[in-house]
């Protein structure tokens, strides 16, 4: 009936998580906004796409072709941390606990959402893992820091079973009770994993953990 | 860290139903799309806002200042149908059962979502209801077709109690079992309403309804 409306709704509903109903709601909201703020939104989208890109090496966010972390010669190229999203890189960087480089998958395996191995940056990971043979620093440790969800765990298993060549040490970020949280209120799955993954205590007075 | 990304996420998350998390997901998806399709989306938003507007009379969608229905001199201006959204107008028009004009509220009362009377086009409705005194066709029937939801019912009651002047007949769209649906599987609230609203049957052989 109204081509401008139909076109806008069709394009808005191509965005992830937005169906026809939400797209219609968004379109109506835009009609009620003043013209300048719609213009501003439109420009921000174009500007984002023009100025930002995914690092051609790790898939993290950057404004150049290769990100600052991948360009930093002080980073340990033999350790690669695999994460789902660019935001995970920032979170891990803030801890200052990891001095290696990253590999961003841009998602996790999720058959229900139609996300298969070919939708993730797994081919690139595979190439990086063998690039040691091509004269680059060989990867010694692959530290898989996908989320402790069904999807993140499935992705970790997939990488372990299908992507990692022999001789590479694979580690997984540990699961457990978050710092400051109450055990009583931890969800059952987190609690179960944190019991299975319990670690030896080494106290100053020679105390020992439950296993000891 | 990346102003273009932060700006885009901030603006995307002003859209209805989109929080920071969804906005981030959308921004990443845009980064993965080719530049032309992002441009296309941006243009569609601006184009929508430029070409479409809400009818200054009824609040329905139109490309001019006043919509085709409000301009149609064959429509009965003494009957006004009140709906929540512009889409409702199209749905009712398709039935060809209503020959009056419309009043689109652009929403329904919903205290939980922070939508109060001042967020809807209730002031405009009030003005239209008294405009008979100003030389226009007086409104004889106000047909309230808000959705049969908590919000739609509350809006209908609000209009009935606070907006409609004496002498205007107020009708409400009927609730009941949808055509073709099974009574056994109707939800309890629909079934209860359709029992309370049961109507007299006038069969050819003089049969009578349950009430008779």
Chain A to chain B, count of Cβ pairs less than 8 Å apart? 136
Q: Helix or strand or coil: residue B196? A: helix
Name which residue leads in pLDDT, B101 or A209.
B101
Q: Which of A15, A31, A53 sits opposite B26 (nearest CB)?
A: A15
Instruction: Tell me the shortest Cα–Cα distance from B132 to chain A, in angstroms.
Output: 28
Per-run averaged pLDDT (10 residues), chain B, 212 residues: 90 92 90 93 96 92 91 94 91 89 94 89 93 76 92 94 92 85 81 80 57 44
User: Mean pLDDT over residues A142-152, rounded?
Assistant: 92
CA-closest candidate to residue A68, choices A84, A57, A82, A81:
A57
- Residues of chain A with Cβ-Cβ distance to B32 below 8 Å are 54, 106
Run of H or E including A94:
helix A86-95
Would you call B4 an interface residue with chain A, using a CB distance cutoff of 8 Å? yes
Evaluate if residue A143 carries a pLDDT over 70: yes
Candidate from A14-23, A74-83, B146-155, B199-208 with smallest mean pLDDT: B199-208
- Subunit contact B49:A35, Cβ cutoff 8 A: yes
- At A83 the pLDDT is 95
Q: Are residues B47 and A7, on separate chains, in Cβ contact within 8 Å?
A: yes
pLDDT at B30: 94
Q: What is the ipTM of this complex?
A: 0.70
pLDDT recorded at residue A133: 55
Give the pLDDT mean for A19-26: 89
What φ, ψ does residue B161 adopt, rounded to 5°? -80, -30
A residues 71..90 contacting B (CB < 8 A): 85-87, 90
- Average pLDDT for A199-208: 62
- Where do we find the tokens 């139903």? B17
Closest C-alpha to A35, from B15, B38, B50, B65:
B50
Name the DSSP class of B66.
S
Q: Which domains does chain B have, with CATH numbers?
A: 3-51 (1.10.8.420), 67-200 (3.40.1360.10)
d(CA B160, CA A186): 50
Tell me what the pLDDT averaged over chain A comes to.
88
For residue B134, the model assigns a pLDDT of 62
What is the pTM assigned to this prediction?
Answer: 0.69
pLDDT at A163 over 90: yes
Q: How high is the pLDDT of residue B178?
A: 83
- Asked if B123 and B106 count as a contact pair (C-beta separation under 8 A), the reply is no
CA distance B56 to B15: 24
Higher pLDDT, B42 or A209: B42
Question: Does any CB of chain A come closer than 8 Å to the CB of residue B94?
Answer: no
Nearest to A29 among B16, B24, B63 (CB): B16
Nearest-by-Cβ selection for A48 from B31, B61, B86: B31
The total of other beta-carbon atoms located within 10 Å of residue A18's CB is 20
Q: Say if residue A119's pLDDT is above 80.
A: yes
B 146-175 residues with CB < 8 A to A: none
Confidence of residue A209 (pLDDT cuts 50, 70, 90): very low
Give dist(CA B6, CA B22) in Å, integer.
Answer: 13
Residues contacting residue B11 through CB under 8 Å, at least 6 positions apart? A40, A41, A44
Q: What are phi and psi of B197, to 5 degrees?
A: -100, 20
Q: Do B28 and A86 touch (CB under 8 A)?
A: yes
pLDDT of amino acid A212: 41
Can you read off the two tokens belonging to residue A49? 């796409």
pLDDT at A69 over 90: yes
Measured on CA atoms in the order B51, B55, B59, B62, is the torsion positive or negative?
negative
Percent of chain A residues past pLDDT 70, beyond the cut? 92
Whole-number pLDDT of residue B37 = 96
Task: Identify the pLDDT of residue A78.
Answer: 94
Q: Cβ of B31 and A39 within 8 Å?
A: no
Task: Check B50 against A35: CB less than 8 A apart.
Answer: yes
Lowest mean per-residue pLDDT among A30-34, A135-139, B19-23: A135-139
State residue B203's pLDDT score.
65
d(CA A183, nearest CA chain B) in Å = 27
Name the closest residue on chain A to residue B31, using Cα atoms.
A49
Selection from B93, B78, B83, B89 nearest residue B141 by Cα: B78
Instruction: Give the pair of three-digit tokens for residue B154.
Output: 């509350």
């Amino acid at each position: 009936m109204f081509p401008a409306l139909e076109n806008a709704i069709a394009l808005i509903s191509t965005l992830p998580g937005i169906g026809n109903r939400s797209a219609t709601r968004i379109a109506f909201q835009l009609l009620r906004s003043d013209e300048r703020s719609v213009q501003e939104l439109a420009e921000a989208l174009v500007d984002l796409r023009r100025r930002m890109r995914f690092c051609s090496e790790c898939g993290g966010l950057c404004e150049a072709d290769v990100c600052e972390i991948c360009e930093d010669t002080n980073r340990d190229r033999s350790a690669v941390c695999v994460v789902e999203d660019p935001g995970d890189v920032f979170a891990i960087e803030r801890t200052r606990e990891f001095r290696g480089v990253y590999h961003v998958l841009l998602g996790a395996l999720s058959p229900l959402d139609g996300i298969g191995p070919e939708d993730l940056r797994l081919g690139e990971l595979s190439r990086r893992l063998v690039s040691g043979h091509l004269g680059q620093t060989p990867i010694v440790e692959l530290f898989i820091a996908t989320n402790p969800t069904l999807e993140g765990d499935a992705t970790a298993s997939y990488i372990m079973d299908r992507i990692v060549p022999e001789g590479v040490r694979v580690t997984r970020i540990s699961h457990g009770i978050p710092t400051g949280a109450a055990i009583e209120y931890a969800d059952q799955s987190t609690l179960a994993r944190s019991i299975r993954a319990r670690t030896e205590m080494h106290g100053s007075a020679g105390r020992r953990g439950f296993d000891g």
